[in-house]
Amino acid sequence: VVDWVKFIFEFLCGVLITSYYVVKEIIELFIRTKLKSLAGKHVLVTGAARGLGREICLRLAKEGCFITCIDVILAGAEETAKLCNEIKSQCAEAHLCDITDRKQVVELVKLVKPVDVLINNAGIVSSADIMEVSDEHIERMINVNVMAHFWTIRAFLPSMIERGGGHIVAIASAAAFTAAANIAPYTATKYAVTGMMASLREEFRWYHPEIKTTTIHPFFITPPASSVEHWEKKSRLPDVSASHVANMTVRGIKKEKITVTVPSHLYFLLL
């Protein structure tokens, strides 16, 4: 027997909560909210050698940040740091680090100055049938896309708490809200990161309100001309550029937003 009173009550609650967030987002489109300054902040970006990681670093340089560019491809990270330093002199440096290796992450903490903003951007993207993808590739994707977040957060969070403030950012994906064929491992990692960040937000809300979190959910990012296209996209929505995602990421940090979808209207489609 259906409990209609309970059903109607839960339905109305869902409508009210959804309406609140929709109205809130619409208001923020037209009313300028105060943005916190990132000038002089030390931001560490993983996966900084190319693509979105590089674009985020360049955008941060324009904000007056000091940027630490991290990647397993040192030459790429150094090139990113060089480009940042052309925007603002001596604002960036590069370090080689495999963030899936806990020991390397611990050593990295000793090499860099205290981090104000940690941006976990590094990630592996690929498309394959569940029986075609190798065991090793699944493990590597989970290690880079999920486990590395734990190692960097656990390494840099104590200093943030000790200094009374910090911001942790995760680059997730719109895949965390949807389902598509042939990207099961990738989608699983983005669901995992989204859940982890939501749990951390609640943890910090109770015990460390001075630590902020932001999760970025971009749609398909247009790959650079030099990159391999990982999958055939079949969507009516257009790709988004890495530079646009970088701009939205930095703006989200400055507004201390919990969640950022790129493009913005994707937020309403996923409610």
What radius of gyration do the chain's Cα atoms show? 19
Q: What are the start-end ranges of the H helices in the chain?
A: 4-30, 51-62, 74-87, 102-111, 135-142, 148-163, 184-207, 242-254, 266-269
Distance CA 271, CA 256 (A): 20
129 contacts: CB under 8 Å, gap ≥ 6: 182
Q: Active-site residue among 186, 191, 207, 267? A: 186
Q: Are 118 and 169 in contact (CB under 8 A)?
A: yes
Catalytic-residue membership of 186: yes
The dihedrals phi and psi of 210, each to the nearest 5 degrees, come to -75, -10
What CA–CA distances, in Å, run from 189 to 89, 136, 150, 175?
37, 15, 13, 9
Residue identified by tokens 């895949």 is 175
Closest CA relative to residue 122, chosen from 53, 217, 43: 53
Q: Are 93 and 69 in contact (CB under 8 A)?
A: yes
Residues marked as catalytic? 186
